[in-house]
Amino acid sequence: MENIIANRIKNARILKCLSQQNIADELGITKQMVSKYEKGEAVPTSSRFLKLSKLFGLKMDYFFSSFQIELGEINFRKKSTFSIRKQNSLKEEIKIRLENYIWIEETLSIDYSFKNIIENIKINSLDDIQKTVLKLRNDWNIGIDPIHNIIQLLEDKEIKVIELYNVDEKFDGLATYVNNKYPVIVVNGDFPVERKRFTLLHELGHLLLNLPDCETKEEEVFCNKFASEFLFPADIVIKEFGGKRRNITFPELINAQKKYGISIRAIIYRLVDTGILSKNKHISFYKRLNLNPSLKREVDNSRFETPEKSNRFEQLVYRALSQENISISKASSLLNERIANLKEISLL
């Protein structure tokens, strides 16, 4: 138990980007005593546990839980300015969220066996992405229709989605496996809905695509192509906008944005990628944006009306509570909700 408590205290400190001296100052003890806590050589008193709980913003049961997960490789390659301290803090937040997620599933005897149905399709060039996306869409029975809720689709396909709020704006998203079994996509929940949808599918590309050995920059290009093709398939782009054109009206772009949940910038890219617009038009589009701030704001407006929210974990907690698999205090801890509020809900 001492080792469990020691690891939890250290991980909570990393979560909050605090030093041992910061903890010592808050508790009114020496830095050496904090070090002993983290090495399992000493255990905080009850009063100090309460202070730690308040300082870290974590429930008391966090420090005593033996249920732990193993995160797969996490690479914050997109944002080189995302500091190591912030990366480690984010990893700990993800671990807490996923420990709770996996724990509640196991409590309900839910077991999934995810299958990557495109893992044997070797991607050698960007041209291979289109047929791979088409196979995935067909196997997932969505054809080339607009997708109204990406998160719901992913969760229906046994991919866990975690949204993080109030995190560093430099964080977009990531994909990994938990315990070498559960696929997980984490996304910045504060993003506009179109950006969130694109990021989710970009990370799905990292999760599923069998890419060649390549530099990080090239890997990002492959995954951007995957996300674009998944959101707005080439055949549909041509159907919506026709053949090669010299000009596109703004209302056409807005209508496509509302229908497919893809940003206007990404639509312009798709129009160039499918040959409907020339590369020169792409260049002139961005020149206009740089010279016209009001036009830039209008282009960047979010207009897709279907919210992208993950509520599966919350649903599982309420299910476990109603079936008496967990206590109301445990549900309160998992949902970070007051017990009184849950008592009112449980009466319905």
Q: What does the domain layout of the chain look like in residue ranges?
A: 1-66, 127-299, 312-346
pLDDT, residue 168, reads 83
Task: Render pLDDT for 190-235 as a digit per residue (tens, 0 to 9).
Answer: 999 999 999 999 999 999 999 998 888 999 999 999 999 999 999 9
Task: Render pLDDT for 176-188 as a digit per residue (tens, 0 to 9).
Answer: 999 888 999 999 9
pLDDT, residue 112, reads 79
Q: Is the pLDDT reported for residue 254 higher than 80?
A: yes
Phi/psi for 177 (5° steps) reads -115, 145
The CATH number of 1-66 is which of 3.20.20.140, 2.60.40.420, 1.10.260.40, 1.20.1440.120?
A: 1.10.260.40
Distance CA 295, CA 301 (A): 10
Is 220 in contact with 75 (CB distance < 8 Å)? no
Is 310 in contact with 162 (CB distance < 8 Å)? yes
User: CA distances (Å), 249 to each of 228, 234, 253, 284, 304, in order?
Assistant: 21, 19, 7, 14, 18
Task: Render pLDDT for 62-94 as a digit per residue (tens, 0 to 9).
Answer: 999 888 888 888 877 555 567 888 889 999 999
Of all residues in the chain, what percent carry a pLDDT higher than 90?
78
Among 158, 8, 186, smallest CA distance to 91 is for 186
Which residues, at least 6 apart from 9, have a Cβ–Cβ distance to it below 8 Å? 37, 38, 44, 52, 63
Phi/psi for 145 (5° steps) reads -75, 155
Average pLDDT score, the chain? 92
Distance CA 200, CA 174 (A): 9
pLDDT-based confidence at residue 116 (cuts at 50, 70, 90): very high
Distance CA 163, CA 309 (A): 8
- Which pTM was predicted? 0.91
Of all residues in the chain, what percent carry a pLDDT higher than 70?
98
Question: What CATH topology corresponds to 127-299?
Answer: Arc Repressor Mutant, subunit A (1.10.10)
Distance CA 82, CA 89 (A): 11
Among 133, 124, 261, 268, smallest CA distance to 198 is for 261
Q: Is the pLDDT reported for residue 313 higher than 80?
A: yes
